[in-house]
A and B are shown apart, each in its own frame.
Chain A
Amino acid sequence: MQKDQRLLDLAALLLKAAEPVSWREIQEQFAHDYAGKGEAAIRKFERDKADLLELGIPVRWVAGDEDLPAGYLIDKDEFYLPDLKLPPEDLALLYVAGSAALANGSFPYIRDLAHALNKLSFAARAPGASEAAAVAARSLSADDRPDGGVAGRIEELSGAIAHKKRVHLAYHGAERRERTERAVDPYGLFQQGGAWYLVGWCHLRTAIRTFHVARIEALEVNASAPRTPDFAPRKDFSLADHATREPWEYAHHPPARCRVRLDPPLSAEVLASFGPRARVKEEGGGATIEVDATNSEGLLRHVLALGDRAEVLAPRALRERAREALAALARGLA
């Protein structure tokens, strides 16, 4: 029998059963699928159980007591998607966020996300539902996404992260400008400035490293024993520490206190662009920002991009570096 049919039949049987269904009965009903008395039949059934769980269908084994026989069951409460019971504005947020992420073209677990938006229409009706459904449908049927390469890598990496499978990658580094091959235990994915990054334990450098997904030239996920994890992430790992690091917080030199002047009018976006750890002193409509930089080159780039409404005040060396960079550009433009 086809596996997908068997899985649905099994789910239908357990959903309908009034009490737990014994292994013997399951074997009887699916005689050709779980034939034999040996371990093989049980292993096959266990794999089916795991597949069902991956679809969101939990099959549970209960030990018998005086009232109930021992066997397998699906709790109806644990099976059906419940109502989310959220106020309309929170539901709208779910729809807007989900469809925005889908429109992004590359997002971790993008197919799961599209399925989730589809299912959401059962768990809640709210403004935004039909927009989200349209985007979800488009995303699920899209054969070629605009960002094909990166989207595909992200999909593969998402799976590897969820199942803790080691990956082998060929990477084109930006600093050294060379191609290296390495094994990486993928810990997580983050997005910054529209680009996706992989963070993981790098076996080549024996340290946690960050990889720009667009610069991964080849990627291979360890295909053996797909349900057995290859690694456990280090206990002290926190993705947020990596993802929320501003470019000037990369560890390149000892911390240096830097000050930046911003002219009025100040926009919320520009103030927020200095991150949660910046100290802001607003004065005369403008502001002075103070940050501790361990990569002052990163801060310089950020300030230059703000144009003539921003200026590096201190330290003197960084201010001089900004002046030099601009003067060199001006000479080239003259």
Chain B
Amino acid sequence: MSPARRETAKRTRRGRAQRREAAPKRAGGQRSTAERHPIDRREPRASVPPRRKVDPRDRLRRVLFLVPYAVRHPGIPVRDLARRCACTEKELLADLDFLLGVGSPPFAPDDFLDLYVEGDRVYVALHQSFSRPPRFTESEAAALAAAVRALGGEGRERAVKALRDSVPRDRRASFDELVDRIYAGAPPAKDSVLGRLQRAIAEHRAVRLAHHSASRDAETERVVHPWTLAQRFGHWYLYGLDPSRGRPLAFRLDRVRECAITEETFEPPGEADLARARLFSDPEGDPVRIRVGAKAAAWAVSRPGIRLVKRSERGGAVVEVAGASAEWATRFALSLGGDAEVIAPAAARRHFAEAVRRTLARYA
């Protein structure tokens, strides 16, 4: 901040402080924020769609993060802080305004939280002990612990213990109980593709993938900078940069046949890279259609990522999966124990028929 601006900011704060001195001791919350808020109120930049039901605790959780974050990053742009707090700029300004009314008895000027916006940047003048966020709640820590256990890795029990220690002492018993109430899946097998990718992500090492491309229906080999993993519709995806194409892509792990960690290291992606890129591109290729019998229909329809096209007679159904390979469709249909068949597109049906023929030959 330039000296002149700093001076202005100081004056603004002093002005507010004087008004506070004149204010009566708090009684029933009649402190007017309007007369002394330093927040530069502007028109919201974009209209926001109506949010779903708001949990009243959400604002408190947000501000308990917002204040220490702004303390740690003095002069953070309003827009960046709003993005970190997952709210709109308008909501953020409302939060800052709300925070000006927060303080501790006897509510002398220096007993209030003091934040101000100057030139679109947020500064915290008095943080009133909110300089770090509070400990993890038991559900925050338990959710993270469940995610860690599902992903596996050598350090997982160390990580779970560290999470437990970061919950207030009184709540650790609840954490222990809660962590045993969520099971997010078996960790990947040692030395599996997922296990290797996890290591590569942590070490920022490029990987060489042999991968089946659904759009080209061909096996491709490429070097990828692995950024992060995601699980969606029951499939694991690797999300990373393909340097030869110069853009990030999502790879479905069950289509990765080989994965080797290379010696090449890379710079981790910045927030902007990730914000620009969409985590999941739209599935490519024709959707695969599968006819399922009555017995398998209930199971098939409730699987994530499967869309019901139509119900047929006697309880059967036709379902559709977007972006599935012929190989995946065949495996899925066969996993329904003979009560399902791939019907379209033609290439996927041929793949299925071929697999049935070859497998049947084993039982001759």
- B 182-215 binary contact with A (CB < 8 Å = 1; else 0): 1111101111110100100111100000000000
Q: Which residues from B are CB-within-8-Å of A96?
A: 151, 198, 201-202, 228-229
Inter-subunit contact B337/A323 (CB<8 Å): no
Inter-subunit contact A109/B356 (CB<8 Å): no
Inter-subunit contact B84/A137 (CB<8 Å): yes
| Chain A CB within 8 A of B135 CB | yes
| Chain B CB within 8 A of A243 CB | yes
Residues 293 to 313 of chain B near chain A (Cβ within 8 Å): 294, 298-299, 302-305
Inter-subunit contact B189/A117 (CB<8 Å): no
Q: Which of A78, A98, A113, A143 contacts B49 (CB 8 A)?
A: A143
| Chain A CB within 8 A of B132 CB | yes
- A 292-304 binary contact with B (CB < 8 Å = 1; else 0): 0000010011101
| Chain B CB within 8 A of A208 CB | no
Q: Which of B59, B163, B193, B353 contacts A269 (CB 8 A)?
A: B193
| Chain A CB within 8 A of B102 CB | yes
Inter-subunit contact A307/B189 (CB<8 Å): no
Residues 19 to 64 of chain B near chain A (Cβ within 8 Å): 26-29, 49, 51-52, 55-61, 63-64
A110-B143, A133-B84 as given contacts; A333 in contact with B341, CB under 8 Å: yes
Bound-state Cα–Cα, A76 to B132, Å: 11
| Chain A CB within 8 A of B105 CB | yes
- B 119-151 binary contact with A (CB < 8 Å = 1; else 0): 000000000111111111111111110111011
Q: Which residues from B are CB-within-8-Å of A84?
A: 162-163, 166
Inter-subunit contact A215/B144 (CB<8 Å): no
Residues 104 to 160 of chain A near chain B (Cβ within 8 Å): 104-105, 107-120, 122-123, 127-128, 130-131, 133-141, 143-144, 146-147, 150, 158
Q: Which of A1-9, A36-44, A63-71 contacts B (4 or more CB under 8 A)?
A: A1-9
From B131, which residue of chain A is reached at the shortest CB distance? A80
Q: Which residues from B are CB-within-8-Å of A202?
A: none
Bound-state Cα–Cα, A268 to B197, Å: 14
From B340, which residue of chain A is reached at the shortest CB distance? A329
Q: Which of B10-18, B265-273, B281-289 contacts A (4 or more CB under 8 A)?
A: B265-273
From A261, which residue of chain B is reached at the shortest CB distance? B362
From B275, which residue of chain A is reached at the shortest CB distance? A134
From B235, which residue of chain A is reached at the shortest CB distance? A194
From A84, which residue of chain B is reached at the shortest CB distance? B162
| Chain A CB within 8 A of B178 CB | yes
Bound-state Cα–Cα, A55 to B314, Å: 52
Residues 144 to 187 of chain A near chain B (Cβ within 8 Å): 144, 146-147, 150, 158, 161-162, 172-174, 177, 187
Would you call the interface of chain A mostly helix, strand, loop, or mixed? helix
A55-B137, A134-B274, A158-B139 as given contacts; A328 in contact with B338, CB under 8 Å: yes
Inter-subunit contact B150/A191 (CB<8 Å): yes
Inter-subunit contact B304/A113 (CB<8 Å): no
From A55, which residue of chain B is reached at the shortest CB distance? B60
Q: Which of A55, A78, A87 contacts B61 (CB 8 A)?
A: A55
In whole Å, how far is B205's beta carbon from the nearest beta carbon of chain A?
A: 11
Inter-subunit contact A1/B28 (CB<8 Å): yes
| Chain A CB within 8 A of B106 CB | yes
| Chain A CB within 8 A of B87 CB | yes
- B 56-93 binary contact with A (CB < 8 Å = 1; else 0): 11111101110011001000000000011111000000
From A242, which residue of chain B is reached at the shortest CB distance? B183
| Chain B CB within 8 A of A226 CB | no
Residues 232 to 276 of chain B near chain A (Cβ within 8 Å): 232-237, 268-271, 274-275
Inter-subunit contact A326/B61 (CB<8 Å): no
In whole Å, how far is B201's beta carbon from the nearest beta carbon of chain A?
A: 6
In whole Å, how far is A265's beta carbon from the nearest beta carbon of chain B?
A: 10
Interface centre among B57, B60, B84, B229, by most chain A C-beta atoms within 10 angstroms, is B60
Q: Which of B182, B232, B304, B330 contacts A150 (CB 8 A)?
A: B304
From B27, which residue of chain A is reached at the shortest CB distance? A32
From A95, which residue of chain B is reached at the shortest CB distance? B228
Inter-subunit contact A12/B65 (CB<8 Å): no
| Chain A CB within 8 A of B3 CB | no
| Chain B CB within 8 A of A272 CB | yes
Q: Which residues from B are CB-within-8-Å of A158?
A: 139, 182
| Chain B CB within 8 A of A218 CB | no
| Chain A CB within 8 A of B216 CB | no
In whole Å, how far is B11's beta carbon from the nearest beta carbon of chain A?
A: 25
Inter-subunit contact A304/B137 (CB<8 Å): no
Inter-subunit contact A8/B60 (CB<8 Å): yes
Inter-subunit contact B159/A93 (CB<8 Å): yes
A107-B184, A191-B150, A330-B356 as given contacts; A271 in contact with B231, CB under 8 Å: no
Inter-subunit contact B360/A240 (CB<8 Å): no
| Chain B CB within 8 A of A188 CB | yes
Inter-subunit contact B168/A191 (CB<8 Å): no
Residues 284 to 317 of chain A near chain B (Cβ within 8 Å): 297, 300-302, 304-308, 311
Residues 62 to 103 of chain A near chain B (Cβ within 8 Å): 76, 78-82, 84-94, 96-101, 103
- B 99-115 binary contact with A (CB < 8 Å = 1; else 0): 10111111000010100
| Chain B CB within 8 A of A258 CB | no
A98-B144, A109-B143 as given contacts; A131 in contact with B338, CB under 8 Å: no
Inter-subunit contact A325/B337 (CB<8 Å): yes
Q: Which residues from B are CB-within-8-Å of A333?
A: 341, 352-353, 356
Q: Which of B102, B165, B337 contacts A300 (CB 8 A)?
A: B337
Bound-state Cα–Cα, A157 to B308, Å: 25
Name A residues whose Cβ lies closer than 8 Å to a Cβ of B: 1-5, 7-9, 12-13, 15-16, 28-32, 51, 53-58, 60, 76, 78-82, 84-94, 96-101, 103-105, 107-120, 122-123, 127-128, 130-131, 133-141, 143-144, 146-147, 150, 158, 161-162, 172-174, 177, 187-195, 212, 214-215, 238-240, 243-244, 267-269, 271-272, 297, 300-302, 304-308, 311, 319, 322-330, 332-333
Pick 17 A–B contacts, CB within 8 A, sort by A. Answer: A15-B130, A28-B105, A92-B202, A97-B148, A98-B147, A112-B140, A118-B65, A137-B83, A137-B84, A177-B315, A191-B150, A272-B188, A301-B334, A323-B363, A326-B356, A330-B356, A330-B357
Among all A-B residue pairs, the 8 with the closest Cβ atoms: A194-B234, A325-B338, A103-B230, A272-B189, A140-B86, A1-B29, A90-B155, A29-B105
Q: Beyond the given A58-B168, A108-B146, could you list 6 further A-B residue pairs with CB under 8 A, ordered by the A residue number?
A: A12-B111, A30-B105, A100-B151, A150-B304, A238-B180, A239-B180
